[in-house]
Amino acid sequence: MIAIIDYDAGNIRSVEKAFVSLGQEVAVTRDAGVLRSADKVVLPGVGNFGDCMQNLEKFGLVPVIREIASGGRPFLGICVGLQLLFEESEESPGVKGLGILKGRILRIPEGGGRKIPHMGWNSIHLIRQNGSGRLFRGIPEQSYVYFVHSYYLKAADESIVTATAEYGVTIHASVEKDNVFATQFHPEKSSDTGLAILRNFAELS
């Protein structure tokens, strides 16, 4: 069973619908017992970094997420769910993230005719090293996926980065460290490519 963490984030139902379309058993929950018993856990998210952290704290989910992420079961962060896994964000100065992974969330720079937020389809460059990139098994290089964000990840350890995108700056678009996976883009909105990525996650052992 795949548990999707319910903390009043915006894209929870679309993530649920995508996994259900793949034939997966899904529970949308903030119940710690259900989360601990799930085979895999997903942290989705759309919105402000600080507000999302506040909601995780309000619902008592921070220690549960840290426990699950350190416990070996596959864990997937999506969009703000990726950002929350890191230490801090320029969007919400003074607010600490979960700190499960090392790195900062930075504002996408203005200029060059770029629109902020970065919204729409963008190709990704896949980085496969030391057996990483399991989310992208069977995914072609320069595949297009769907982004909606104004802030981007700069990981402290680039060895965890499994995909990048270019939008005036190199965006660390996906990471993988042990059992923890995350994507800045929205696989649930990325058509067949996104569904293939979610299927790869669902099939992890």
Element (H, E) at 122: strand 118-123
Distances 184 to 75, 85, 146, 147 between C-alpha atoms, Å: 14, 11, 9, 7
CA distance 136 to 162: 9
In the CATH hierarchy, which fold is given to the domain comprising 2-202? Rossmann fold (3.40.50)
Please state, as a whole number, how many other Cβ atoms lie within 10 Å of the Cβ of residue 141.
11
Q: Report the pLDDT value the prediction gives residue 130, as an integer from 0 to 100.
A: 65
**Which active-site residues does the annotation give?**
79, 186, 188
Q: Report the pLDDT value the prediction gives residue 180, as an integer from 0 to 100.
A: 98
Rounded to two decimals, the pTM is 0.96
Backbone angles phi, psi at 21, to 5 degrees: -65, -20
Query: Which pLDDT tens digits describe the chain residue by residue (205 residues)?
Result: 999 999 988 789 999 999 999 999 999 999 999 999 999 999 998 999 999 999 999 999 999 999 999 999 999 999 999 999 999 999 999 999 999 999 999 999 998 888 999 999 999 999 977 677 999 999 999 999 999 999 999 999 999 999 999 999 999 999 999 999 999 999 999 999 999 999 999 999 8
CA distance 9 to 101: 21
* CB contact set of 4 (below 8 Å; sequence gap of 6+): 12, 15, 16, 19, 26, 27, 28, 29, 41, 42, 44
